[in-house]
Amino acid sequence: MKRTHPGCLRAIVAANVRRLRKQLGVSQQEFAYDIEMDRTYFGGIERGERNVSIDNIERIAKGLRVSAHLLLLEPSEA
């Protein structure tokens, strides 16, 4: 599997998703179930291993109760 380099958008999305999910106080498994996504696929998104689609970014954002564009911002901008 390809590794992402620091600062790439995939890594930014991963960090934002992980941070926001933890702020909600739910596990990966609970969150993935709530948004009807496979837990292992969701875990791959949080680790920056998956090239997540726009549709799934929208699904995740709705589950996190944030605007989708916030998942794409550098941590200092979010």
Task: Report whether 36 contacts 58 (CB < 8 A).
Answer: no
pLDDT score, position 2: 56
What angle do the packed helices 54-64 and 39-46 form, to 10 degrees? Answer: 90
The string of pLDDT tens digits covering residues 11-51 is 999 999 999 999 999 999 999 999 999 999 999 999 999 99
Task: Report whether 3 contacts 50 (CB < 8 A).
Answer: no
- Total-model pTM: 0.86
Domains and CATH numbers, the chain: 9-72 (1.10.260.40)
**Cα separation of 9 and 31, whole Å?**
22
